Amino acid sequence: MAKTQRPRTLSTGKKRGIAKKSVAAPRSKTTAAPSAKSAVATRTKSTAVRVFTTASAVKVPLEQIRERIDSVDSQLHALINERARLAQQVGVSKHAAGHTVDFYRPERESQVLRLALQRNQEEGAPLRDEEVLRLFREIMSACLAQQNALKIGYLGPEGTFTQQAVLKYFGHSVRPLPLTSVEEVFHEVESGAADFGVVPIENSTEGTVNNTLDMFLTSPLKIIGEVELRIHQNLMGRMTMLGDIRRVCGHPQSLAQCRGWLQEHMPTVERVIVSSNAEGARRARDEDGTAAIAGAAAAEVYGLNLLVPEVEDRPDNTTRFLVIGRKAVSPGEADKTTLLVSAAKTDAPGALYRLLEPLAQHGISLTRIESRPSRKKKWDYVFFIDVEGHAEREPLATALAELKRRASLYRVVGAYPKAIL
């Protein structure tokens, strides 16, 4: 278990200031207290559906409330078992129809989650949207595991942010396969050793993970989903005094996301680039004077002290991951399409404009564009483009047909459900 040390000296400097010889206190986020009038108004508006718990619970004996909870639990259990049996019937139906490998359908799971989110918002339920989605995802994960426990390759080892993305997207009833590189994740999915893979694609602070993009230049795999993960970087190690740190290990992306904090608070400490944050945590466990930048899960796995939490420079630091598979995804309710395109002469005036013109003419929203060397000849480039909508649905289908006629290279890398929360 990760051990969060009680600070011996509290910093009185900046928000994330630290004492050179002590463990810093966790940063606190303070807001101005609302007036009594506004506070009452806010509580009345936001908890109108929940007010019954205060007024009526006092009048009902505790034993009756517990009996009611037991009754609800019994009903929940029966309904979950019924759902599991229905999931088994789905598997039987798919086998009968010859669909022996299509147990997991991303568009169907996205539909179920969006319906759960819609119900939660309409009913003014006490549980947060994130909690409701997590519960439904775990139920679906457990039900799906009856048919086929999915094998998910990811950029390991255990304790990385990519592993957290796997569990957020697929739930805990899968078989995670930690791998040593993005290339190996692609290879394992291509060969069938893994059903799907999860790889990082971009960070809101540091931008694109080019290695992942480059794999799509030659890989036949499709993007079948995406997941966004809020990234909290933490300083961790075996020591309890920050003055004992001689070096800090981390993945290049993580070190870059904490560049400002490290420069301000540990300017003379050596920064060591490692293949993954989990590898940095392992070194922090095994080497004297070594600390690591990683997620809290790595501290749990490697038994390290959380010395300073949340040292990322930007509070909205988020990483987007792609889920990759061997088959295309059918259209759903809220989709995104990723394209790989190029023009015959990418350095010709207006080449990119002519490629993108059909999207504008048909009212298609372009959400992202990245250029990468084509690796065919010098100064020749390809473009990765994200657009709203599914490639098989109008008006995007018509726009893409026209774009394809203008392009020297055209491939739909994936059409898939957009991330939910």
Ordered by start, the domain boundaries in the chain are 68-90+105-147, 232-311, 328-421
Instruction: Convert the pLDDT of each residue in 319-331 to its tens digit.
Output: 999 999 999 999 9
Is 80 exceeded by the pLDDT of residue 98? no
The architecture of the domain spanning 68-90+105-147 is Up-down Bundle (1.20)
Sign of the CA dihedral running 67, 70, 75, 76: positive
Q: Does CATH number 3.40.50.1000 belong to domain 232-311?
A: no
Mean pLDDT of the region 69-82: 94
pLDDT at residue 33, rounded to an integer: 41
pLDDT at 380: 84
In this structure, of 95-104, 192-201, 350-359, 401-410, the range with the lowest mean pLDDT score is 95-104
pLDDT above 60 for 350: yes
> Could you read off the pLDDT of 202-231 as tens digits, one per residue?
999 889 999 999 999 999 999 999 999 999
Specify the CATH number for 328-421; select among 3.80.30.20, 3.90.226.30, 3.20.20.100, 3.30.70.260: 3.30.70.260
- Whether the pLDDT of residue 180 is over 60: the answer is yes
> What is the CB neighbour count within 10 angstroms for residue 348?
10
Tell me, what DSSP letter sits at residue 193? S
Alpha-carbon distances, residue 335 vs 42, 114, 211, 386 (angstroms): 35, 12, 24, 11
pLDDT score, position 124: 73
Phi, psi of 10 (to 5 degrees): -95, 135
**With contact defined as beta carbons under 8 Å apart, do 301 and 176 qualify?**
no
Average pLDDT, the chain: 85
Q: In this structure, are residues 312 and 269 in contact, taking their beta carbons and an 8 Å threshold? A: no
Average pLDDT over residues 403-420: 95
User: Length of the chain, please?
Assistant: 421
Rounded CA-CA distance 262/251 in Å is 14
